[in-house]
Amino acid sequence: MDNAVKEKSRLSAIFHLCPVAHVLLLLSAALIGAHLLLRQNHELMCRISENVIAPLHQRMAAFCAVFGTVSLAEILIGIFAISILVYIIYETIGLVFQSGRLGRLYRLVIRLGATGLAVYAGYSLLWGVYYYGDDFIAASGLENGEISVEQLETVTLYFAEKLNEYSGLVPRDEDGFYTADRDEILARSNEVYRNIEKTFPCLEGPDINAKGLRFSKILSYMDFTGFFFPFTAEANLNTDFPPGLFASTVAHELAHQRGVAKEQEANFVSVLSCLDYGDAEYCYSACMLAYTHLGNALYKADYSAWHLVYSGLEENVLRDFAANRAYWQQFETPVQTVTTGVYEGFLQSYDQTLGMKSYGACVDLLVNYYYAEAAEYYGLK
């Protein structure tokens, strides 16, 4: 009996070292466990995502829009990162110079663990449920069947010609490089989905602008062009990389804001919305995005066909692609390798088994959707 009392007393003492952290740890673990157990229940995930999370995100996005171009996500992430760093430094100094090292070390580990687990639990609830509800293909009724190399070649050629067409409609400097006003592109971003949501009601959402980030170069080191932050429902953009793919990235992040979780579908929806919007800069960027995916696929499937299409790209288009490649090459560092690996693992934890390679799966969607249009354009049956 004495031993039981002593054990209970010892556990109580451990709990009271950091009671809030212990409670947070248990609650977070319970939420994550519930998510893991229930996420294969498609009907339940649909109900939660459509009736709870989507309406919540719309209200959160509307609230954050009051702050104009300021990203609350960037502020919160900055405060969070600095707070964690300061806390680690403070506790490390305590470990070196003060007594009670074992208890201090335990508090440090538990508090950091509870914080990390709480963030992951919140992410699972506010974003992870989307991966297990209806995806865009199911919600839109579109088909995503197999494609032939001939169909791939036709649609790739079609987007290459569209790319050349819109290339002449965007502003360029004296050297021929596309020069976008990113602030203006962001200011128009609340209009991008107004047309396409009439065709696909599943894309309905708040007409709210995406936001540029002040510390964009940090994202470049991490190999990110933007991100959707489910804790504020803001679409956030890296404003440092070359402008060719900037507008289509804006539309991509806004697709996430409208509940399109899968990356390959968000890329397709980006192209779809930009072209339907009709703005020259958005259309040019969408064609660059589409051609990048289609061209890479055609290169592997039929090199000679790819070379023929590629040789037809105008010089200014090639300049913009070269500028994009040169920019990202300077960030090929161990930091980028680590963050890419972490993000791939994160995607795979939500059953996105292709990891970041799943971005290329939008090729099937593009070919299935645009082949009839391309075939008619070229007079094919």
For residues 13 and 146, give the distance between their C-alpha atoms in angstroms, rounded to a whole number.
Answer: 62
Separation CA 372–CA 177 (nearest Å): 32
192 touches 277 (CB < 8 A): yes
In b/e form, how buried is each residue of 26-54, taking b as 16+ CB within 10 angstroms? eebbebbeebeeebeeeeebbebbbeebb
Does pLDDT of 213 surpass 70? yes
Q: What pLDDT is attached to residue 357?
A: 38
* pLDDT in the model for residue 349: 56
pTM check: above 0.95: no
Alpha-carbon distance 110 to 116, whole Å? 10
The two three-digit tokens of residue 74, written as one number: 């960037």
Q: How confident is the model at residue 380 (pLDDT cuts 50, 70, 90)?
A: confident
Q: What is the pLDDT of residue 23?
A: 93
Spans of all domains in the chain: 2-132, 143-377
Q: Measured on CA atoms in the order 13, 16, 18, 20, is the torsion positive or negative?
A: positive
Query: Of 245, 318, 237, 261, which Cα lies nearest the Cα of 50?
Result: 261
pLDDT at 351 over 60: no
pLDDT in tens, 283-317: 999 999 999 999 999 999 999 999 999 999 999 99
CB atoms within 10 A of CB 92: 13
Q: Is 212 helix (H, G, I), strand (E, B) or coil?
A: strand
Residue 145: the pLDDT is: 80
The predicted pLDDT at position 233 comes to: 97
Contact 255, 359 (CB under 8 A): no
Distance, in Å, from the CA atom of 28 to the CA atom of 125, rounded to the nearest integer, reads: 11
Higher-pLDDT residue of 361, 85: 85
Q: Looking at residue 254, what is its pLDDT?
A: 98
Tell me the per-residue pLDDT of 19-30, one tens digit each, with 9 for 90 and over: 899 999 999 999
Of 261, 215, 204, the closest CA to residue 237 belongs to 215
- Per DSSP, the three-state class of 216 is helix
Q: What is the DSSP string of 325-376?
A: HHHHHTT-SHHHHHHHHHHHHHHHHTT-TTGGGGGGGHHHHHHHHHHHHHHH
Confidence category of residue 182, pLDDT binned at 50, 70, 90: very high
Longest dimension (CA), the chain: 90
| Whole-number pLDDT of residue 149 | 93
How does pLDDT run across 326-335, given as a tens digit for each residue?
A: 999 998 866 5
Instruction: Decide if 202 contacts 228 (C-beta within 8 A).
Output: no
pLDDT digits (tens, 9 = 90+) for 336-347: 555 555 556 555
